[in-house]
Structures are given as C-alpha cells and as structure tokens.
Structure 1
Amino acid sequence: MPAEPTLKQLHGRAFASLHDEMDYQVARIDGTLPPELTGTLFRIGPGKFEVGDTVLKTMFDADGMVSRFVLDGKTVRFTNRYVRTKQYLGGDVMSQRGITTNAPTLRGNLMPPANTGNTNMATICGDLLAMWEGGPPYKIDPDSLDTLGYKRFDGDRLGYLGSFSAHPKWDPNTGEVYNFGLDLLPTPRLRCFKVDRAGRSHQISSLKLWDMVWNHDFALTENHMVFVLDPLRPNIPTLLRTRSLAQALDYQARNGSTRFALVPRDGSKPRIIEHEALTHVHVTNAFEDGSDTVVEFFRFDDPDVWRKLGQAWQEPADPTDPRAHLTIEEWPRGHLSRFRISKSGRISETVLSPSAPMEFPQYDWRRSTQEHTVTYACKATEDIGHYNAVTRIDHRTGVQSTFDFGLAQTGEPLFVPRSRTAAEDDGWLLVLNHDLRSHHSQLAIFDARTIEDGPLATAYLEHHLPIGFHGTFSRRIAG
C-alpha cells in the first residue's frame, strides 16, 4: 500500500500542473444554484510549472490558463484553455527569463521577462483581456477562449514595453477605465492613462520615480489615481550576478520611505507624501472624504517579508518538494487598514482587522471611487500552509465572519450583486477552492451576507485547478 502523503506533500498539490484542456458540464452540484445568478465567471492563473526541463521557481513565471464557469441558474459548464503566449507556443524552450526563473541562455536573460498573461482578466470596451503587468494584455474570445493576439489600444501609446498593469480600475459614474504601466528605461516612471468608452487610451501623467520601485496595484477616487509606493527596489549588482528579478528585489526601509502618490485625473501636478516604510501588495479601494483622501489595503506586519519570499524562491518549486509551499509561520501576516491623507499632507492609519495571514481584498466594484462598507478577502487559519478560508469584514459593525474550507487552497473571492440596483452586500460571493486531500477543485457560491453559514451551492470539478490569481464575472452567458 502506498504511504499516505505528508502534510507538506499535500500543500505542494496546489502547485501541480494541469496540462489538459477540457470542456464539460459539471455533474455534481451540492446545494441549490441561485436561479438569478446567471452569467460567466472567468478566472486566470498559472497552469503548468515547467518549460521543458526547466522547473519554474514560482507561479509567477507559469503560462496563464483561463478557467471559465458558465452559470445559467440550473447548471454549471466548465472550460479551460491556455493563453497562447510566446512561451507556451515555444513548447519545451524557455527563450526568455521570467520574474523568478532565469532562462538557460545569456541572450534569454538579457531580454525582458516573458509575458505570461497569467495575472488577471477584465472586460474593457467589450474585449475580454488576459493581463500581466510587464507588457500588453492578450485579447481572449469569451466564447471559444481562443487567444486573438495583443490588445493595442488606439490613442496614446502604452510605452516601449506596452505595459498595461494587471489591475485596471473603473469609474462606475463615467465608464472610464484607468491604469498604469511601469517604465524602467531611460528613467523609471509610472505612466498613468485612462481608456475612454471608445477604447482610446489617453496619457494623463508620467510620474518620475527618482529610483526603481516595483508597484503592482493602485486605487481610484473621483479626482485621483492613488499609488502606495513601498521602498521595494531591484538590487542592480544582484541582477548582474544573473539572479532573477524577484530575488533581486530589496526592501530598503532604512534608506527609503513609502510614498503615497496622488495623481490628478485631469493631468495636473501630482502630490507626493512621504510616510514611514511599509509593505503591501494589493489595494482594496479609495475615496474622498471632504478634502481628505482615504485608501484601504492590507499592510504586512513584517517589513522583511520580501526577503523571506526571495529566499523561498532560490530553489525550484517542484510540486513534490516541501519548498513549494510557505508554512503558516512564514506566510505573511497583516491587518486591513485605511490610511487618511489630509490636505496638509498628514497621514493617519485606522486598523480595521486583527493581524492574520490575509490578502486578496475584494469589495462591491459598484462602490469604486466611493466609501465601501464591506471587504472580502482570503485568509489562512493557524494550522494551514495556504489561504484556506474566505473572510468578510463589515466596517459598519466591526464584525469579521469567516468560512474555513479545511485542508485546502482557496482563491480570491469575487462579489456579484444580485441586481444592478441591489444593496452593496446583497449578492453572492464566488470562490474557487482546491481540496488538497481529494486533489479536486470546486466552485463555491455563498450568500455574501452570511458566508459563515457555508456555500449555497458547490460545483465539483473532475480534477484540480492549480493555484490562481484573479478574475472577473460577466452577466453575458458565454457560448
């Protein structure tokens, strides 16, 4: 009889590749699907963790795989397809470096990192896009999931790399989309732009950064794009020693500060406000309160988190190797906070949750640019090595409620309102979960107000889905 897998081996299953592309109607659904919940859920993340004989060091370098769930109120249909990136079409040859994995040739390491299209999905001006922050997005056919090439916006160019960050933001009042791209040469800059309703891009600011910093996300208010720029910089000597970009990231708290940048949407001069150094990844939302600007995000307790993650990335993340997961002691802990920036430049922090391993904050996107009252997120319980729970923080009452999936790897929750005019928290929370014991994944559908009661319905897949990142929901039923 084969030995039972160890706990660390079970954790490693989250990083197991899925090479097959499938299309089938889900046979097993526990509970009852909400009849009003109709549309299509698109999720994206890494699909395979090797290129030929090269084992990728982390999920960030893996080719993007789209997972689609079509819901008609009675059934769930699942389809998955890989984004046809240059790396994917190259088969067994890794011709360009990744973020954490170097290519086997000097030429490949001198090129920009491969655009894996694996980070987020969004529908912008009618086009479904698969995004990765270091290059242009890929256009995806929502019905066939075919890759239709790069999406090149008309209007102002997106810079020499075509960078279109993986976290665009919408203004629900104007229909405009705002985003940024990071340019490192000839001088480091944040290139800020908007996409109008006709799909034309307009540069509104080019923010000089003085030094190289890595930035992943931002928030939008009625009048500003809001950036939180931590002192996370690539160490050039480390890069020249052929280490990967991720291993070269250096958190320089002693020599730098976190800069809050308020970039006016009308193109006028940005404001930069210095703050003590802190660490974060994703931003929830931002809004204006009188003359103040308020921005919400998870702040990590340990400012050294990037060095620890970099150490974990120094060896190949073989799915059967315990290095493929971070234990709870190593997993970043943090708390949800709102930072208030006054007109005079004073910054104050309000803590909204106890410290815990939490990230991937989400909210009702109809509240973008306005104050929201509920935040959803992934959470890890104290004895599990992955995010394995979904949590809800009600800012009106201060109550935090959680549903624990057990030994699992749980993806980012996505809120879907019951209707266009429904109250902020009246709707459903859609969560992808990977049961690590059975090595199968499920789509869990919660009442967004009572997630602690468990899912209303669970659709069981015939296989697992590797650890994923972000996604979007469309009311259109894809065919």
Structure 2
Amino acid sequence: MTLAPEHSASDTDFEELVARPFESQLREYDYEVTEVDGTLPPELTGTLFRIGPGKFEVGTTVLRTIFDADGMVSRFILDGSSVRFTNRYVRTQQFRDGLQDSAMRRRGITTNVPGKLLANLRLPANTANTNIVPLGGEMLALWEGGPPHRIDPNTLETLGTNDFGGKLGYVGAFSAHPKWDPVTGEMFNFGLDVFPTPRLRCYRVSADGRMSQINSVTLWDMGWNHDFALTEKYLVFVLDPIRPNIGQLIRGKSFDESLEYQLTNGSTKFILVPRDGSKPLVFEHDPQLHIHVTNAFQDGPDAVVEFVRYESLDFLRRTLDAAMGPKDHPNPHHHLVVREFPDSHLVRFRISPTGRITEEVVSQSAKIEFPQYDWRQSTRNHQITYTAGTLEREGHYNGIFKFDHRTGTMTHCDFGKASVCEPIFVPRNKDAAQDDGWLLAVNHDLVENRSQLVILDARDVEQGPLAVAHLTHHLPIGFHGTFTPRVADPFAPLPHPALLS
C-alpha cells in the first residue's frame, strides 16, 4: 500500500482546493476528449453514465447542502479508441424554477423556502440528482423522495417522470439504489413513506418496466433508510436508529434538522422481506451507523448482508451543524468539506430466519464509502469490494480502495489532491472471472480544477491508471452511476445547445 502524502500547500491553498468540488457547473458540454494519458483498452466499449449535484443555487437562493442541488448527468462514451463527453441537467421543475431571477419556490431536503411557512410544509422538490440506471431502453434519473425522471440515453433529453402507472403510492418515493437479479433480469426497489403512515413499499419491476408491489412494511418507529440489498429469497434492509421527528417537519423544519440520532437508546432493525410476498421478518440488534450497502446473498437459510459501517457519528453531526451556520467564505458551500473522516469497516451480518444475528468485520479499518462490486455477483457471495476512500484526515475521498475477501488484503490507488467518485467495475467480457476487468471513476484534480475519467486494471489498482481522459473543465462532486455495454449515439441531436436553457 502506498501512503498518500500529507498536503503540503499552505492552509489557505488547501482551503481553496477542497472547496472546488462545490463550485457549480453552469455549462453543458459535448465534445471528444483529446487529452488522454496512457492507452484506452480497445475491448472497453460502452457508456458510463454518472449523476450528481451540478448547480448549488436555485435562482437567487444559495442551497444549504449538496443534497438539494439540481441533478446533472455526465456521460462518457467509450468506443475502444476514443472518449466523448456530454453533460446535461435533468429538466426537473426545480431546475426550470431556478432559471428565474428569484428565490426558490419549493423546499428542499435541507433548504427551506425563505420566509414561506406554508411552502415549507410541502414535500421537498425532486432534484433527480442521486443515481442513474437503465430500464426499458431509457435511463432513469433517481431521487429517493419521488418518482424517477426518464432520460433519453442518446440525447440526454428529459422525457418526463415515470410513476409506473400510479403504483408508487402517496409520496411517490422510489429509492436511488435499485438492485437486479442477474438470472431473471428483474429490478427490485423500495420507496420510503415517512408520512402519513411510515412504511417501506417493496417493488419488483420487469425488464420492460412493468411494476408490481411485493409487500409493504409498516413501522411506526421507522428510521431513515437510503439503500438495501437483494438475495435470491429476500430484500434485506438495515434500518439504523436515525429517525425524522414528524412534529418538527410539520412545524416547517428541514428534513436534516428533524433527524434524531438514537444510538444510545435505539436499535438497528434488520428486515427480511420475502420476494414471494410472504410475511416480512423484523429483528432488532445493537445500533449501527451506515449509509450504503454493498451486496447480500443466501447461505443456506441465512441472509448475509455487507455494508460500510461508520465507527463514529461525530463527523455527520459536525457536517450538519456546519451546514446550519456556515462561516463567511468566497465559496458558500465550503462548509460541506468533511473536517475529520471517520474510521469505517466493511462488515457482514448474518441474519437467521429465527432471529439469530452474528457479525463479521471483513476489512481493515479505513476511511471508505461508496462500495461497489461485480454486479454479475448480485445475490451471490462476491469476493471483491471496491470503494472510494482516503488516508487523509480531511478534505475529500481521493483514492480507490480494493478489498479482497479471499485473502483479507486491502490495496489502493491514491490521486493526491483530488476528489474521486465511486469506482464502477466493468468485466472484460461476459464470461470473465471476478476482478478481471476495469474500474472506471471520475476524479476531480483539485490543483488544475479539471475532472478526468480514470481507468484502472481492477486486478492491480496499485499500479495506477491505464488511461486518464482529461476534461477541459471541472465536474462538481458526484454521487452514483452506471456503465452500460451499449455505446450511446454520439451524434444524436442534442436538445439543449444553449447554456442552461
């Protein structure tokens, strides 16, 4: 393992660098990338779709956190010899409102409408900024509090929303982390209804987009939940004791202000929802703290689920406290820089249908997030987990980490003064072994203030990139994405050639 160097720039320089991922990108681009270091693998063909917050203002209102920012799709087309980049904003209602020279009209998750009590009693605006996945020949831009936005994969035009024929329930929630059965090709997902009745709605979606509800789980002490996992038998949920106070929401508090952390007197719920629609199983355990789940699988009657567990809640509370009272700084979102990354581990929990729960730590202590794996191993015991991470105390995730569960080893590739997104694994071919393929990640070089597509050999991340495709500009901090083997049409007419129209 190669240790990342401590940042040697002055404190002022460092403060400026770490704020750069929170700068809005106000242009939409479409061009062939001409500056490429190394050699693009000729067998690597397809399209990488990424999405994340792109614009941190709505009209004249500066947003409190990145979670309320307009979703921006970034697309990298790889044909084996070149890379073409395109970015487009999802044309949500909030995006269209934000083109006006006025204050925001719809509340966000963390940003309230200035001086409008009644407006802050409504559901938050759907920003379509969290994940982008394929379904039925289209792409879906996902945001967990509302219905997906349909995106044309060739033009990146927004085609409207998809409520699956009105089957999403009162809130319309559809999680940003669907899972797929590699045998049937079905998509599974959930929607979290915080009110009027707190429940998990569990869905099955056919490859052509037809939805059916598997079950719903009503829990009056329901916690906030962002992700889940899938086995051949169950949808597996890990609900930590982080719960919104409905009374505070009704009184106009933002969602993050209403969250209560009950780690001393609360418990984590492991919920197994059978795919056949039979009765869900709910078990309580010692409180955990996580955001993202890697994968799950059946081991006999037991379900085994892997996720990144944080060892401290302090970083999250400090980040939210800073968001509530940011200090003066040229970049209004500078307060979102993590000031001390928490240690975290990959853990696997075994849940028996009888309620017996055991835990295994399957990685060294590190500062990691955004776990990924070979998605052909969904519902199966995967051998490798890839994550973004850092060896620094503060700043951003600036490296790609690989955890080999066969050997218990951790290796990584460090990008220095950078902000790197989750690594996406692409197999060399459909029959390739686990780990035989590439890792694709979007990295923001903070010194040059330009982003780049980084391609690593998944078998040896420590050797560094095989190829780096340098963009001419920066991309703001991103969330999630998908690689599709289909090469998108690079010459499809683009619907929005002007700047943010």
Scaled by the length of structure 1, what TM-score is found?
0.96
Return the alpha-carbon distance in structure 1 between the equivalents of residues 288 and 37 of structure 2. Answer: 43
Asked whether 1:148 is paired with 2:159, we answer yes
Alpha carbons 1:249, 1:306 under 8 Å: kept: no
Q: Name the SS for the 2:183 alignment partner.
A: coil
Q: By how many angstroms is 1:44 displaced? A: 0.2
Q: By how many angstroms is 1:420 displaced? A: 0.8
Partner residue, 1:443: 453
Asked whether 1:254 is paired with 2:264, we answer yes
Q: Name the SS for the 1:247 alignment partner.
A: helix
Partner residue, 1:374: 384
1:72-471 mapped onto 2 (5 Å cutoff):
72-90=79-97, 91-92=99-100, 93-104=103-114, 105-154=116-165, 157-239=167-249, 242-315=252-325, 320=331, 323-329=334-340, 331-471=341-481
> After the TM superposition, which of the residue ranges 189-198 and 279-288 deviates more from structure 2?
189-198
Structure 1 residues 190 and 367, CA gap change in structure 2 (3 angstroms)? same
Structure 1 residues 312 and 333, CA gap change in structure 2 (3 angstroms)? farther
Matched AA of 2:370: F
Alpha carbons 1:76, 1:459 under 8 Å: kept: yes
Return the alpha-carbon distance in structure 1 between the equivalents of residues 342 and 65 of structure 2. Answer: 16
Alpha carbons 1:8, 1:322 under 8 Å: kept: no
Q: By how many angstroms is 1:213 displaced? A: 1.7
> After the TM superposition, which of the residue ranges 20-29 and 182-191 deviates more from structure 2?
182-191
Matched AA of 1:320: N
Structure 1 residues 455 and 429, CA gap change in structure 2 (3 angstroms)? same
Extract unaligned runs of 5+ from structure 1.
Answer: none
Deviations 1:358-394 (A, max 9, x none): 1100000000000000000010122441100110000
Structure 1 residues 316 and 149, CA gap change in structure 2 (3 angstroms)? farther
Matched AA of 1:66: V
Q: By how many angstroms is 1:268 displaced? A: 0.2
Matched AA of 2:69: A
Q: By how many angstroms is 1:308 displaced? A: 2.7
Return the alpha-carbon distance in structure 2 between the equivalents of residues 239 and 129 of structure 1. Answer: 29
1:6-25 mapped onto 2 (5 Å cutoff):
6-25=13-32
Alpha carbons 1:250, 1:306 under 8 Å: kept: no
State, as a whole percentage, how many aligned pairs show the same letter. 59
Partner residue, 2:66: 59
Deviations 1:172-198 (A, max 9, x none): 011111000011232100000101233
Q: By how many angstroms is 1:28 displaced? A: 0.3
Matched AA of 2:238: V
Return the alpha-carbon distance in structure 1 between the equivalents of residues 349 and 222 of structure 2. Answer: 24
Partner residue, 2:77: 70
Figure out how many residues of one structure are paired with residues of the other and give that number.
475
Scaled by the length of structure 2, what TM-score is found?
0.92
Matched AA of 1:123: P
Return the alpha-carbon distance in structure 1 between the equivalents of residues 319 and 275 of structure 2. Answer: 35
Structure 1 residues 36 and 341, CA gap change in structure 2 (3 angstroms)? same
Return the alpha-carbon distance in structure 2 between the equivalents of residues 228 and 377 of structure 1. Answer: 19
Alpha carbons 1:325, 1:386 under 8 Å: kept: no
Structure 1 residues 310 and 324, CA gap change in structure 2 (3 angstroms)? closer
Return the alpha-carbon distance in structure 2 between the equivalents of residues 351 and 288 of structure 1. Answer: 18
Deviations 1:382-418 (A, max 9, x none): 2441100110000001111100000110101000011
Return the alpha-carbon distance in structure 2 between the equivalents of residues 473 and 394 of structure 1. Answer: 22
